[in-house]
Amino acid sequence: MINNTIFSKSNKKIQALNKLLKSKKERIQNNKVILLGEKVINAYLENSIEKSIEVFTCGEEISENILKNSEVELFKVDKKLKKIFDHSDGKYIGIAEKPNLSNKLSDLNNMKRVLVLLGIQDPGNLGNIIRSAIAFNFKDIVISNDSSDVWGPKCLRGSMGAHFNANIINLSDVNELNNFELDKYLFVSSKQNSINLSQIITKRPYLCIFGNETHGITKYNNIENLIRVTIPINKGIESLNVSNACAVSLYHLNCMNT
């Protein structure tokens, strides 16, 4: 359904959109996610159980997929308000219900391979990692509460909507990882006391653990029985960005199991 064009920034719909864009607290209180761009909106419509969505557009032509979808309430926005779309693809922003996550940490006992992300601070990095995880068949992803807002608009855009294909589990206490009888591979930049990525043998269920962009997992020293893993790179490069290191590692591990 297409509503009348919105011309004023004092419009209640635009005011609500601005609040949700700027405030994590506002999004949490209203149980909403912000979807930046057509690809992220389409990913939500294709994969999320909660389908109802408000879409704002300032484009002249409207995507057929969005226009014909009965779950979409569409609002055209006058071009003088187009600054709102600066962080999207320039055409579309969606407001939708946050997916209802039923997965619990205890479910790890039934999972074969799990990606664990501890303290990832950059929302773009976090989104890119989730995208890589889904690309390489790591659907189960545990994310510590001190990471960037996993359901924030920048993270969702970074993943291009891959969130909606993932089983995302929140981790409030890192020590809980010690309760599971899984191999724990910690990916580090230092070769000291580490095995090469190519030496991993995945005969048992396992966790792939990546830490903070700057400090790794130095603040998570209580995790037991870690197997440190390093990626061999040329001498002129000190280390890889965490999202790149994750993509390389998950690709390699996925190849081992296909």
Q: Are residues 85 and 195 in the same domain?
A: no
- Domain region containing 77: 12-97
Q: Are residues 19 and 140 in the same domain?
A: no
pLDDT tens for each residue of the chain, 258 residues long: 677 789 999 999 999 999 999 999 999 999 999 999 999 999 998 887 777 899 999 877 788 888 778 888 999 999 889 888 887 877 899 999 998 877 788 888 889 999 999 999 999 999 999 999 999 999 999 999 999 999 999 999 999 999 999 999 999 999 999 998 899 999 887 778 889 999 998 888 999 999 887 776 677 778 888 999 999 888 888 788 899 999 999 999 999 876
Residue 3 inside a domain? The answer is: no
Separation between Cα atoms, residue 180 and residue 165, nearest integer Å: 24
* Nearest by Cα to 119 from 147, 155, 141: 147
User: Structurally, how many domains does the chain consist of?
Assistant: 2
Residue 120 inside a domain? The answer is: yes
CB-CB contact of 174 with 222 (8 Å): yes
Q: Are residues 77 and 116 in the same domain?
A: no
Q: Are residues 33 and 83 in the same domain?
A: yes
Q: What CATH number did the domain enclosing 114 receive?
A: 3.40.1280.10
Q: Are residues 157 and 204 in the same domain?
A: yes
